[in-house]
Structure 1
C-alpha cells in the first residue's frame, strides 16, 4: 500500500508530540509499505533518515510570515505558515504527486486536513490528538473538511469528539514508545547527589509547570527540579524565584528526542501535572525507562496508568497532592522501584510497531471501500460508525 503522512515538522529534530507520532508511524509503516512523508525542510532526525521513507521536502515558511498576520487575525503564525506550505505544494506539483502515487493521505492538524482533503482526489484520514477546546480551528475543520475518515489518539479523545462534535470516530490508534531506546539501562545524562524531579513537555500553565514549581517548593527533602521543553524561560525563572527554588532548578529547553532516554534514566521521579492531555506520551516514555511517574488524573492517562499500581495520579491543580505524591516516592526506594518496574511492563504494551500495524490494518480494510464508492461526481460520505470502547 502507498501511504502518505503530512505534517510540517514531522521529519525534523524540533518535532513536538504530534510530529513525533507522525514520524514514527511513517518509519514503522515503511517496513511493509511504500511511505511518503511530506514535511518542511530542516535537520531531519536519524529515525527519518535511516528509514525507508520517501521524504518530500517543502520549504519552511515559519520565518517568512509577517508578525502582523498572527497578531491581527484569528489564525496563528504557524497556520499562516501551513497555508503557505500548502500553496507552495499546489504550485510545485506536490498535490499532483500525491494523486499519482498515494492510496491514502494521513493528516494530524486541522488546517492541513481542510486544505488537503479538498485539494486531492485520494482518500484522506484525519486524526485528532486531543480536543482541549473547540476554537475556530475545530469549527472550520468541521465545516470545511472533505476527509473520509476520522481517528483519535485515545479513547478519551474519541469520547470528547463524540460529546462535543456529535459523532464517533472510526478507530483509536494510540501513540507508541520506542521500548528499545527508552529503557532503564539508558546511560544517565547527569549524576546528582540530590534526587531529581524531571518535567518534559511544553513549559506552559496548561501542562501544570507552575503547579509543579509551587509543589516542589514545599518538599521537605533536598531535591532538584529539571525542566525540559519549550517555554518562556523568563516567566519560569520568575516563578522559581518567587517560590525560592531557582537555585535548585535547571532549565534545559529543547532536547533532541533521541537524547531524552538519558534524562529519564537520570531522574528519580517524573512529573507531568497537566490540566488536559490527549494521551501524555512523555509519561509512557518515562515509564519505559523505569522512572516512577506522578501525573494528572485524567481519563486519557488512566488508559495506561492505574493509581498506586504503575504510577501515582493527582488531581490537576492540586499542588498539595503533587507535593505529597513526589515526597512519597522520594521517601521510599522500594516504592520507586516497584512503580518503575510495573511502569516498564506497561510501556512494553505500547510499542510503535503495534500501533503502526493497527493504522495499516485500518487503511487496508477501509480505503478499498472508499475507492469503490467514489466516482468523479460523487464524494464518499463518512459513516457514523460506532466505536467499541468509546462509551466506557
Structure 2
C-alpha cells in the first residue's frame, strides 16, 4: 500500500476500507501490511496485524527500500496471497509469483492503470490472479488497452463512511468565515489543485461562472484544495473578474470535510480523469446534488445519471446551464431534491456493507476455484 496514515487520498481511503473489510471477514488470518510512505511511529502492531513502513527512509531511497522489504519478506514467509493496492508495486508481486508461485491481486484505480506502457507493469497485469477495478470505466479501459482476460477483472467500487458523512444545516461558522449568507447558492469543489490534475474541471467551472452570474447574481464558488496550480487559478479568477464570487479555501482538514459538503447547494467536479471519485459519494451522502463529467469513472459513482448529473466536461455552456437548472430546482431528476433519499441510495450502492459483501463473494469464489484446481 502507498500509505494508510500519512496521506488521505482516494487510494489511501480505498486501501483502508479494504483492510477493514478483510479484518472483519477473516479475523483469524495473519496480515502483513507494507506501507511505502508511513513510518513506524504511525501504527501499532497486534497479534494478527503487522505493519512494515518505509517512510523513515529518505525519499530518494524509499522505493528501493520498500521493494526490498516486500521481496525479502515474500521469499521468507511465502504468504498465501499478495494484494497490491497500487499498480506500481506489482512488479515485486509478479517476481514472487515467478520464483515461489505466490498468487497476487491488483487493485486498479484510475490514471495509474490507464495507458500503461512499461513492459514490467504490463506483465504484472497479465499475470495477476485477480484484478479489482474500482469502476466499470477502469475495467473497460484495461480490457481495451491491455487485452486482458475479462474473467480475471472484477468490480469493487469505492466506498465511504456513512456514519461520518451526514446531512446537516449549512454550518454557521463556515458561512461567517467565508462571508456567505444562508440562502446564497453555493457551488463546491474539493480537489487537489495540481498542474498535473487540471482535468478535475475547476477551470471549466470558473469559465462557466460569468454565465451563471447572469441568472444567479449572488452565486458563490468555493474551491477547496491545495497544490502547485493555485497561482494560475488566482490569475484566472482575476482575468475573469470573479474575485467577489470565488473563495479559494486551501486545504480542508478531514474533520472539516462534512461541514464543507453541507455548506454547498451543489457539489460540482466535471472531471475527465477520475477512476471513480470518492468525493462524489461523500457529497451525495450529505444529500447534495452532484454534477460530474461523463467521460470517466464518475459514470460509475453517479450510476450513469441515476444519482446525479453528468455533463460534457469540456462544454462550459452546458456546465453553466446545468448548474443553473440544478440550483433553480428545474432539473428532471427528482432525486437531486430529496436529500434523505439520495443519501440512502448512495449507501445502498456504495456503503461499506455493500463493499464488504462484494469482497467476500470474490474471496470465496477465488479460494473455491483454487481448491478445485489443486
Matches within 5 A, 1:238-253: 238-253=235-250
- Displacement of 1:302 in angstroms is 3.2
Aligned residues: 346
Q: Which residue of 1 aligns with 2:25?
A: 32
Structure 1's 255 and 331: CA in aligned 2 closer, same or farther, altered over 3 A?
same
- Could you say which residue in structure 2 is the equivalent of 1:114? 91
Per the alignment, residue 147 of structure 2 pairs with: 166
Q: What does 1:188-337 align with in structure 2 at a 5 Å threshold? A: 188=171, 190-191=174-175, 192-193=180-181, 194-203=184-193, 204-220=197-213, 221-232=217-228, 233-298=230-295, 300-305=297-302, 310-332=307-329
Task: Give the aligned partner of residue 166 of structure 2.
Answer: 183
Q: Which residue of 2 aligns with 1:134?
A: 115
Matched, 1:57 2:38: no
Structure 2: distance between partners of 1:13 and 1:295 = 28
Cα distance in 1 for partners of 2:105, 2:207 equals 42
Q: Aligned equivalents of 2:314 and 2:110: distance in 1?
A: 19
Distance 1:172 1:297 in 2: 19
* Offset, 1:304: 4.7
* CA spacing shift, 1:36–1:89, aligned 2, 3 Å: closer
Q: Distance in 1 between matches of 2:47 and 2:281?
A: 26
Describe the shift of the 1:61–1:144 C-alpha distance in structure 2 as closer, same or farther (beyond 3 A): farther
| 1:21 and 2:17 aligned | no
After superposition, the CA RMSD in angstroms is 3.3
Query: Any stretches of 5+ residues in structure 1 without a counterpart?
Result: 1-6, 66-79, 375-392
Greater relative contact order (CA < 8 Å, ≥ 6 in sequence): 1
Which structure 2 residues correspond to residues 39-50 of structure 1 after superposition, within 5 A?
Answer: 39=35, 40-42=37-39
Q: Where in structure 2 are there 5+ consecutive unaligned residues? A: none
Distance 1:149 1:128 in 2: 10
CA distance in 1, matches of 2:328, 2:47: 47
Q: 2 CA distance for matches of 1:256 and 1:42?
A: 21
d(CA) in 1 for partners of 2:198, 2:114: 15
Aligned to 1:8: 2
- Taking the aligned partners of 1:306 and 1:135, their CA distance within structure 2 comes to 26
Q: How far has the Cα of 1:361 moved from its partner?
A: 2.5
Q: Residue 14 of structure 2: SS of its match in structure 1?
A: helix
Contact map agreement 2:271 2:296 (CA 8 A) in 1:
no
Deviation at 1:360, TM superposition (A): 2.8
1:105 equivalenced with 2:82 (yes/no): yes
